[in-house]
Structure 1
Amino acid sequence: MVEAGKTGEICIAGDGVAKGYWRRPELTAEKFTSNDFDTEQQTKLYRTGDLGKLLPSGDILCLGRIDHQVKIRGHRIELGEIEEALEEESEILSSVVVVNSSRLMAFIITNEARDFSEDNMAKWKKNLSTKLPDYMVPQDFNLVTEFPKTLNGKIDRKSLLKNASEKRETTHFTAPRNKTEQIVAEIWQESLGFNSIDIFANFFELGGHSLIAVKVMVRIEKETGGKNYPLSSLLEHPTIAKLAKFIDSDKDISSWSSLTPIKTSGNKTPLYVIHGADHNVLIFETLSRTLDKEQPVYGLQAKGLNGIDAPHDSIKKWRHIMLRKLLNLTQPDLMLLLGIR
């Protein structure tokens, strides 16, 4: 048995439990097991396949099916695994994770209302990223006082999503102020699955990742007269307001630079990360959020990713250019380099 407050499978025993399923021996063997809590009478224990937890009141909270798998970015994941990791945080009493347009949303009940803060949410995301892959870390956190229930007592996940959507629509946000912001906002909304997005909201904190970024930049190219903006533009200008201002500046994007700022703040020795084949520097944005807040991070990218410049004709030439760039930026004896395959 799991401890009170911990998530486990709900099982039923007692005189009301049947002997098994009618003419389904394999399913009977799977679901009706020996009751280890009643060894004298050798009774059966029925495994319901539902997750639940014992509340302080003595009631059992039904959390949904144990095999509740979803697919995120091509990966099959168990939502219960994310919920268990969340509930290891001292401030979180209970949690439910749902999927909305390929984005993970966490609904949590905290011990106290003040525990739901920006600092704690940042801490939760950072802790989760050390236990789970980045595609299993929720992008949104929502505070609730209780979970809505269906008629049979299980958590109503659809109601959670509906309530969150209605709350977001009534929350004050800054709307686009010009044509370019409107274009970028519409592209982000379609790509990220939002009805509206504040122009100062961060693309990556909204659930954006490298695959969505590619789609966004392709759409922006079509909507802005065919100008090919590099993917790294999203790292340097991660809000609608900043990206629209960059587009309107008509800045020359033909000049290539191997160095891309990912996180410039912090007083530690900067970390320079080199991407591997079939990747770009966008994948390092997630990495930067898991590191110390005082750790600056820069990406080193290959030439040609902007779709304009011809790529280097050898690794040796690329290495030479990158090293020369780094030596101009930092002291040789204080250089932190990381390579990702």
Structure 2
Amino acid sequence: FGSTETQRAISYYVIPRTVAHAGEGLAKEIIPLGVGARDVQLLLLNAQQHLVGIGEVGEILVRSPHLARGYLGDDALTQARFIANPVTGDAHDRAYRTGDLGRYLPDGNVEYLARRDQQVKLRGFRIELGEIEAVLRAHPAVREGVVVVQEPPTQDKMLVAYVVPTQDSLTTEMVADIRRSLQSKVPVYMVPAHILGLAALPLTPNGKLDRRALPLPGALSVADDMVPAPRTPLELQLMKIWESVLNLPQVGIDDNFFDLGGHSLLATQLVARVSEVLGVSLTLRQFFEAPTVAKLAYVVEHAGAATTPAAGAGAVPLTRLSRQPSTPPDAGR
């Protein structure tokens, strides 16, 4: 591993014999960058310029006496990339910011994860796709992963993650765990609306990712008989509101709003629609904490909603909610 700015190879990794002799397609291990060569250190720093811990994502900096002086005729870029070592603060102890994201493995080797200069703007937020990909690829269920902005027909632009799983297929449980991992490490606006499993990432003839060949997320890939049906008139009414706001033909009562492509702006529309149809006032915080039809029905019931929709709206009439209170969705789990 090295670059023009470092003038030579600056890290190495000894490939274990078991990987080196694996048959084609059998070696699933990601080969790390390794450790710094003689007189070289690979430093991984977070946004606060502190060293990260094992497994945490950070930018790879190269500390070496063999760095270039800078970029000819570009002082601004030189100052941005060639900096004083943040760990020591010594101006004579120089480090080069590679723009690559990686993590320390338990054995001290460094693993490359993604670039951090893939910036996009979505719904007013500047988003580094590389930062999301780094967290995605660090998950044990993910062998390869990319994040792109997609715009499915009749839907807004959204972040979509494409994952090649370490196992044969990407299960619902894996998707939920990957999403929890992302939610704990990146802001909510950087969590992909969809996480899709692929057998392999599509590549161009020269071996680069073919983004145009990535499939658009479908409305619902779950068979009709696998979608939990509404159990009460209230759940049915909420389900119809969700389908209208998300522009989807079918929603299950346990489907997460944000997994289906929802975002904060659509959440605001949904909360307003619930207020209009059911006569109950909800906050966005309440909705974020109950992002499924089943959970929101429980919240609405206990908010004392007026449940008779306007006449002629084509909605299912609802009885007084106290008539048949629901069991909390997570009760007994």
Q: TM-score range by the shorter chain?
A: 0.3 to 0.5
